[in-house]
């Protein structure tokens, strides 16, 4: 979701530039900064951003400047009230001596530049041009983010493959093989039957059910494989898939936690913990996806 883009434009004696920057965020947060007198552009600017993006903290900054063709075209006016006040003060300090008018005219605010009034038609056309420049900046930002997304997709694909490899390694652990599971269950059953005092029949049934379920992680492994496959499909689909990938991260982590809690085998527990670490790395990268 990170990126930067800039677009410049001009109309008449006005020129401007848009700078757009995007960073990671769980939702879309749009911030617009522009010069005074242009507040009416904020709403359409926000709407333009919302059409382009679904997630990310987006900052859009507009800078404007206005120039005249030559200094001869400039018009000025004298702030008569300020000049009279300065003259009165100067005469009082000089005891009636002549006052240097040039020094008074150089005081800030005495002589003011007059900006030509802009017609409503020119203003509307200029505003439309400014928003068009924003569209150009947003398109460039989309392309920037897409380039980053393609690189990120390769990273995520590699992480999903690592999770899939770890899932396969967990499924091949010796303790999960049918003969090993049978031997372990028989040993646990023998321990229960030889208990003193003898275990009640209903309690025996409960213990057998617990032993059977606790040692079986077949469903968890199957669901892990299904979640990895679903995540790969989303990467191939593209678009705004960040929230759905984030949900799959939660499901992947849930299955890995269950495997660790069910495991009574050191090797299987090791695979489960390494799987959790891989899923966390995957989740961190998913936060960068729109």
CATH number at residue 270: 1.20.140
* Arithmetic mean of pLDDT over the chain: 84
Mean pLDDT of 178-194: 63
Q: How confident is the model at residue 206 (pLDDT cuts 50, 70, 90)?
A: low
What is the structure's pLDDT at 249?
Answer: 97
277 and 169 share one domain:
yes
Per-residue pLDDT at 196 exceeds 70 = no
| Residue 231, C-beta contacts closer than 8 angstroms, at least 6 positions apart | 156, 160, 245, 248
Per-residue pLDDT at 185 exceeds 80 = no
* In-domain check, residue 27: yes
As a whole number of angstroms, the distance between CA 249 and CA 228 comes to: 9
* In-domain check, residue 218: yes
* In-domain check, residue 174: yes
Mean pLDDT of 267-287: 94
109 and 224 share one domain:
no
What is the structure's pLDDT at 137?
Answer: 97
173 and 282 share one domain:
yes
More confident: 93 or 232: 232
What is the structure's pLDDT at 68?
Answer: 61
The three-state secondary structure class of 66 is: strand
257 and 153 share one domain:
yes
Q: How confident is the model at residue 175 (pLDDT cuts 50, 70, 90)?
A: low
Mean pLDDT of 83-105: 75
* In-domain check, residue 229: yes
9 and 137 share one domain:
yes
266 and 159 share one domain:
yes
Q: Full-prediction pTM beyond 0.75?
A: no
What is the structure's pLDDT at 209?
Answer: 57
64 and 131 share one domain:
yes
**Packing angle of the helix pair 201-214, 178-193 (nearest 10 deg):** 150
Q: CATH code at 62?
A: 3.30.230.70
* In-domain check, residue 219: yes
Mean pLDDT of 29-52: 94
Q: Which residues pair with 111 in a beta bridge?
A: 78
* In-domain check, residue 236: yes
What is the structure's pLDDT at 204?
Answer: 57
pLDDT, tens digit (0-9, with 9 covering 90-100), for 44-58: 999 999 999 988 899
More confident: 265 or 248: 248
Highest averaged pLDDT of the listed ranges 86-95, 214-223, 267-276: 267-276
85 and 138 share one domain:
no
* In-domain check, residue 120: no
Token pair recorded at residue 41: 């552009």
Q: How confident is the model at residue 97 (pLDDT cuts 50, 70, 90)?
A: low
Question: What is the torsion angle, in degrees rounded to the nearest 10, for the CA atoms of residue 112, residue 116, residue 118 and residue 119?
Answer: 140
Residue 103: which domain range? 71-114
**Percentage of the chain modeled with pLDDT above 90:** 47
Mean pLDDT of 57-81: 79
102 and 135 share one domain:
no
Per-residue pLDDT at 247 exceeds 90 = yes
With beta carbons less than 8 A apart as the criterion, state whether 53 and 290 touch. yes
With beta carbons less than 8 A apart as the criterion, state whether 263 and 170 touch. no
81 and 165 share one domain:
no
Token pair recorded at residue 115: 């900006």
Number of domains in the chain: 3
164 and 243 share one domain:
yes
160 and 274 share one domain:
yes
* In-domain check, residue 121: no
């Amino acid at each position: 979701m990170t990126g930067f883009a800039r677009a410049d434009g001009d109309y008449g004696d006005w020129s401007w530039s848009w700078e757009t920057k995007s960073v990671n965020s769980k939702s879309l947060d749009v911030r617009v900064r522009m010069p005074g007198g242009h507040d009416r552009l904020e709403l359409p600017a926000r709407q333009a951003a919302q059409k382009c993006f679904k997630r990310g903290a987006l900052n859009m900054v507009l800078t404007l400047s206005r120039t005249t063709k030559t200094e001869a075209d400039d018009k000025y006016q004298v702030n008569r009230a300020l000049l009279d006040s300065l003259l009165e003060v100067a005469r009082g300090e000089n005891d009636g001596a002549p006052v240097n008018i040039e020094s008074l005219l150089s005081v800030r605010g005495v002589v003011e530049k007059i900006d030509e009034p802009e017609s409503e038609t020119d203003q509307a056309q200029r505003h439309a041009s400014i928003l068009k420049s924003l569209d150009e900046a947003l398109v460039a930002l989309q392309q920037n983010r897409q380039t980053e997304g393609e690189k990120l997709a390769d990273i995520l694909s590699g992480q999903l493959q690592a999770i899939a490899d770890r899932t396969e390694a967990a499924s091949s652990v010796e303790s999960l093989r049918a003969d090993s599971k049978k031997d372990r269950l028989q040993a646990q059953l023998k321990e229960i039957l030889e208990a003193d005092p003898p275990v009640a029949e209903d309690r025996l049934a409960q213990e057998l059910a617990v032993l059977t379920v606790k040692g079986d992680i077949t469903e968890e492994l199957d669901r892990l494989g299904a979640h990895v496959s679903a995540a790969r499909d989303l990467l191939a689909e593209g678009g705004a898939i960040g929230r759905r990938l984030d949900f799959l991260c939660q499901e992947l982590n849930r299955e890995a936690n269950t495997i660790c809690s069910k495991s009574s085998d050191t090797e299987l527990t090791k695979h489960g913990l390494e799987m959790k670490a891989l899923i966390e790395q995957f989740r961190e990268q998913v936060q960068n996806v729109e």
